Amino acid sequence: MTQFKAVMIVDKEFRISEVDPRIYGSFIEHLGRAVYGGIYEPDHPLADELGFRNDVIELVRELNVPVVRYPGGNMVSGYNWEDGVGPQETRPRRLDLAWRSVETNQVGTNEFVSWSRKANVDVMMAVNLGTRGIDAARNLLEYCNHPGGTYWSDLRKQHGCETPHGIKMWCLGNEMDGPWQIGHKTAEEYGRLAAETAKVMKIVDPGIELIACGSSNSKMPTFPEWEATTLDHTYEHADYLSLHQYYGNYEEDSANFLAKSMNMDDFIHTIISTCDYIKAKKRSKKTIHLCFDEWNVWYHSKEQDKSWIRREPWKIAPPILEDEYNLEDALLVGCILITLLKHSDRVKVACMAQLVNVIAPIMTENNGEAWRQTIFYPYLHASVYGRGIALRPMVSSPKYDSKEFTDVPYLETAVVWNEEKDELTIFAVNRHLQERLPLECDLRHFEGYRLIEHLVVRHDDLKAVNTAKDEQVSPVSYTGSRLSDGVLISELPHQSWNVIRLAQSKQ
């Protein structure tokens, strides 16, 4: 009988890639309470002089978020960016057709850039290729990035922003393959428009990076032909191709739910193959990298949201897409982060969707508190400790089969070595719902390292959640690990997220 035990070997020479910090990005869309009541609430007692909530800013800083995608999302495909600049008192209210809400435009481009600087994040801006196109995109770019002496750059200065915003990453539309999208296009239509828009934008500012729309999810009937056709047009103009994917536990099958990061792994492999096929077809020397700019667990609020939007449309900042996350959601988020690290050679940017209130790690009450959801913690740990070189460990783990997946390893793991700090971090999820998982890890290639700490996020109840008054799921120090003669011995608690940190001993 095979012993129930995981074994791994970590060698500093088995490198995947330097981890691009932007892999820990996020997303804020004008949707629900993400902006109004989320990052922006002028009447809140903790609001700053611009109306931004300082308690939310502090939590964003804690997460060390490097980049935030803005302003959408489905919303951007019907958005006129000019509505969100100039004096706030003269800005028009518009119907947001994507989410059947009313957009007040009190927060727009300049306000969001101001918020991003306070929160220490860069902006990834999306342009509207649904109802608009080349002209609106080039004008917005000129407004944001051109130094001055032209109509749009001087208008920015009139609006109080003397210095250019210097936004370097730009999304060429959003989910244009989706029939739900305003201005939905075929791959041929989108590819032509995206290529021509990209050419013009890079004339305005040659230093920007552009992201072409890939498939909205791996179950789209046009996947992966959409990517092949789109890249046929955009390959030499775009720098990244986007991917989106959300997961849910509709069947209440936790073992199968925790295996769904394997679907993400397959999705990434297929996209890479498609990108490289077009590279070969075009005889190109350029490699397209991936921007996984929407990912998360999303399913708790969907039925409620359908009812709300149907029953009470055209509200300002309605409380929609407010998933209350539990422990198993946090475990899958951890597995997803591990999957991204495993593909860090090609996935250079990723955005957890979203950041505040809307399917988010941070929740707020209007005129009340802000708090950390369960998914906050694996995101925090990966962002803070997952910077450096992603290593490829040799892993042997016991496995199981679920409804949708075969040979699911109980141990899901990634390793990041920060060579500059001489620190090593092992991220690990034990997917087993009842049993501790013994782990033996050979670290002899890291001579002189010592164990700093082992953090665990777990709870006996997979459905345990955090609220403003009761944090049931949070990291605790774990004493079940030891390092001896270069071998780490541990027992990973059942249904747990683990962060094992080691560092070079100081002489």
User: Which residues belong to the active site?
Assistant: 175, 294
Q: Which residue type occupies 314?
A: W
Strand partners, 394: 9
- The DSSP code for 84 is G
Closest CA relative to residue 431, chosen from 2, 4, 3:
4
Q: Which residue has the tokens 């029939």?
A: 179
Report phi then psi at 259, rounded to 5. Answer: -90, -5
Give backbone dihedrals phi and psi of 483, rounded to 5 degrees, phi first.
Answer: -120, 125
CB environment 203-234: b (16+ within 10 A), e (fewer) = ebbeebbbbbbbbbbbebebbbebbbbbbbbb
CA distance 476 to 467: 18
Q: Count other Cβ atoms within 10 Å, centred on residue 115.
A: 26
What angle is formed at CA 120 by the lines to CA 48 and CA 101, rounded to 5 degrees? 60
CA 25 from chain center: how many Å? Answer: 5
Nearest to 173 by CA among 131, 141, 143: 131
- For tokens 């941070």, the residue is 362
- The SS3 of residue 129 is coil
Strand pairing partners for 294?
244
**What is the spatial distance between Cα 101 and Cα 317, in angstroms, rounded to a whole number?**
7
Report yes or no: 24 and 386 within 8 Å, Cβ to Cβ: yes
CA–CA gap between residue 61 and residue 42 (Å, rounded):
20
Helices 134-145 and 151-158 sit at what angle, rounded to 10 degrees? 50
The H or E element that residue 243 is part of is strand 240-247
- The DSSP secondary-structure symbol of 106 reads S
Biggest CA–CA distance in the chain, Å, is 77
List, as one string, the DSSP characters of 215-270: -SSTT-TTTTHHHHHHHHHHTTT-SEEEEEEEE--TT--HHHHTTTHHHHHHHHHH
Looking at the DSSP bridge assignments, the partners of residue 391 are 15, 415
